[in-house]
Amino acid sequence: MPTLTPMPTLFTRIINREIPGRFVYEDEHCVAFLTVAPLRPGHTLIVPRLEIDHWVDLPPALLSHLMIAAQKVAEAIRQAFPSVKVGMVIVGLEVPHCHIHLSPIDRIGDLNFENQNSQARPEDLDAAAEAIRSAMAGT
């Protein structure tokens, strides 16, 4: 049985537009928005609307849906930020709300979370979000 979080998470507050977010995709089951501390430009989170902390507790249909959404967004990231791959990682230690990290990578070290840019400039994040949205509109 999934463990629901006791109060709205930071991500739920973003999903509900209580806190600003740079959305690049959304549907009835999930959203995708840029992280404010990217590993590289274009680093995006896929987040289910349902507050479930651990990805292994997601209902199978929702997990499948998140993977399909991640694939769509990753294709747009690949177009907007050419790289060797778009890496996908589920860590889940920062916020108790399941989320998938998607980031353009050229080497394995590009997925080292110790290298997050917590000083990313808002205008750079806005430009990255617009690049992904534009790529998604073209797919």
Helices (H) and strands (E) in the chain, counts: 3, 5
Q: What is the sign, positive or negative, of the torsion defined by CA atoms of 31, 21, 12, 46?
A: positive
Catalytic residue among 43, 65, 97, 99: 99
Token pair 């070290």 is found at 109
Distance CA 132, CA 77 (A): 6
Let me know how long the chain is.
139
99 is catalytic: yes
Q: What residues contact residue 39 under an 8 Å CB cut-off, 6+ apart? A: 101, 103, 110, 111, 112, 113, 115, 116, 117
Residues known to be catalytic: 99
